[in-house]
């Protein structure tokens, strides 16, 4: 499989900082993977993501060494406008990302900036709205929408740019549990339909582990753990790095490997209960 992201011995230190925020970081992500990026707060997750979407080194200066490539383009040599079509970014709070007077204008904003021809723009905006089930909101004002809808508008704006890789910063933290769970299912559908790769920063793992392939854990700028959800969640060190291990996973670990068929998927509460019911003596 092709690697959509390669990070090779990345080091970064902000001007005036005592220590490097990113230390000798190697990472490879394959096309269509869903990767959770976790680690204690302040461990450098946001900085690492800036190095992927190009804000580092294009907008933030500092000591930079190593190499990051996204879809074959070397981030530090690639202009931002070109990177914007390769890497999309969904902020934690959609309010920071949507600001136009109508949903469709908002979604078209990035494309307008790139000077995409009108017909093409129309097509891409319509596609993105259809994909996220918000076509009926096209002419509504974004600020009138619910938080879950705003989140979808922001995501549609990102999708319309056609990036192969989308980064999400705690996308579910401001959503109620059911809206959050719908967003996670939506990401899974987009991944299946378009082959989009997602890197998701998240502390709340209960929802995301159901669709994620891998968890990468960093601490103090270094990569500490990298493996399947099953492997990382069963690792004794994971909690020490600030991961919330879902309750069913902790109990499932006790039940033995049978609980995690395929070595990857993580059980739901009802799957775990079924297993217990069937094994009870």
Partner 1 sequence: MIEFKDVTFVHPTGTTALDHVSLTIGDGEALAVVGENGAGKTTLIKHITGLLKPTSGAVLVDGEDSRERTTAELSKKVGVAFQNPDHQLFSENVEEEIAFALRNFGFGEELVKQRVDWAINFFGLEEYRRSSPLTLSGGEKKRLTIACILSWDPGVVVLDEPTVGQDVIQKEKLSEIIRMLKSAGKTVIVVSHDIEFLWPMQTRVVVMSRGRVIADGPAAELMLQRETLASARVSQPQLVALYQALKNRPPAPFVHVHDARNWIAGLVK
CB atoms within 10 A of CB 117: 9
**Residue 239 contacts partner 1 per CB under 8 A:** yes
Query: In this structure, what token pair is assigned to residue 120?
Result: 């093409």
**Residue 227 contacts partner 1 per CB under 8 A:** no
Options 85, 93, 102, 265; binder of partner 1; rule CB under 8 A: 93
**Residue 1 contacts partner 1 per CB under 8 A:** no
- CA 219 vs. chain centroid, Å, equals 18
Bridge partners of residue 73, in order along the sequence: 70
Cβ proximity to partner 1: between 4 and 156 the closer is: 156
**Residue 177 contacts partner 1 per CB under 8 A:** yes
Cβ proximity to partner 1: between 81 and 279 the closer is: 279
Residues 127-146 within binding reach of partner 1 (CB under 8 A): 146
Cβ proximity to partner 1: between 70 and 155 the closer is: 155
Query: In this structure, what token pair is assigned to residue 161?
Result: 């740019």
**Residue 261 contacts partner 1 per CB under 8 A:** no
- 67: Cβ contacts below 8 Å, ≥ 6 apart: 6, 7, 8, 9, 10, 74, 75, 76
To partner 1, the closest distance from the beta carbon of 266 in angstroms equals 11
**Residue 251 contacts partner 1 per CB under 8 A:** yes
**Residue 242 contacts partner 1 per CB under 8 A:** yes
Options 28, 42, 72, 80; binder of partner 1; rule CB under 8 A: 42
Options 154, 175, 218, 225; binder of partner 1; rule CB under 8 A: 175
CA distances from 31 to 153, 171, 264 (A): 24, 21, 18
To partner 1, the closest distance from the beta carbon of 41 in angstroms equals 3
Options 7, 37, 39, 160; binder of partner 1; rule CB under 8 A: 39
**Residue 265 contacts partner 1 per CB under 8 A:** no
| Strands of the 222-228 sheet, one edge to the other | 87-90, 165-169, 197-201, 34-38, 214-219, 222-228
Options 15, 77, 193, 280; binder of partner 1; rule CB under 8 A: 280
Cβ proximity to partner 1: between 112 and 239 the closer is: 239
To partner 1, the closest distance from the beta carbon of 173 in angstroms equals 4
Cβ proximity to partner 1: between 114 and 247 the closer is: 247
Options 203, 213, 222, 227; binder of partner 1; rule CB under 8 A: 203
**Residue 41 contacts partner 1 per CB under 8 A:** yes
Residues engaged in binding partner 1 (CB under 8 A): 38-42, 46, 92-93, 146-148, 170, 173-181, 203-204, 206, 239, 241-248, 250-251, 254-255, 268-270, 272-274, 276-277, 279-281
């Amino acid at each position: 499989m092709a690697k959509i992201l390669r990070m090779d011995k990345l080091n970064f230190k902000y001007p005036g900082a005592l220590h490097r925020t990113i230390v000798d970081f190697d990472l490879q992500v394959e096309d269509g993977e869903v990767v959770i990026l976790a680690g204690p707060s302040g461990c450098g997750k946001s900085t690492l993501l800036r190095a992927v979407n190009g804000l580092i080194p294009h907008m933030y200066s500092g000591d930079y060494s190593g190499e990051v490539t996204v879809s074959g383009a070397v981030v530090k040599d690639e202009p931002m406008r070109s990177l914007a079509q390769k890497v999309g970014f969904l902020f934690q709070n959609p309010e920071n990302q949507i600001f136009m007077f109508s949903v469709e204008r908002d979604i078209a904003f990035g494309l307008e900036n790139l000077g995409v021809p009108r017909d093409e723009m129309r097509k891409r905006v319509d596609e993105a709205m259809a994909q996220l089930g918000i076509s009926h909101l096209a002419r509504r004002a974004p600020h009138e929408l619910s938080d879950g809808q705003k989140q979808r508008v922001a995501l549609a704006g990102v999708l319309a740019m056609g990036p192969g890789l989308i980064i999400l910063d705690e996308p579910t933290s401001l959503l109620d549990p059911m809206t959050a769970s719908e967003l996670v299912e939506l990401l899974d559908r987009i991944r299946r339909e378009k082959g989009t790769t997602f890197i998701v920063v998240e502390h709340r793992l209960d929802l995301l582990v159901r669709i994620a392939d891998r968890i990468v854990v960093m601490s103090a700028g270094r990569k500490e753990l990298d493996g399947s959800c099953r492997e990382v969640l069963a690792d004794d060190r994971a909690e020490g790095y600030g991961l919330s291990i879902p309750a069913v996973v902790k109990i499932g670990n006790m039940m033995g490997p049978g609980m995690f068929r395929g070595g990857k998927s993580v059980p739901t509460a009802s799957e775990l209960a079924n297993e217990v019911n069937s094994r009870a003596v």
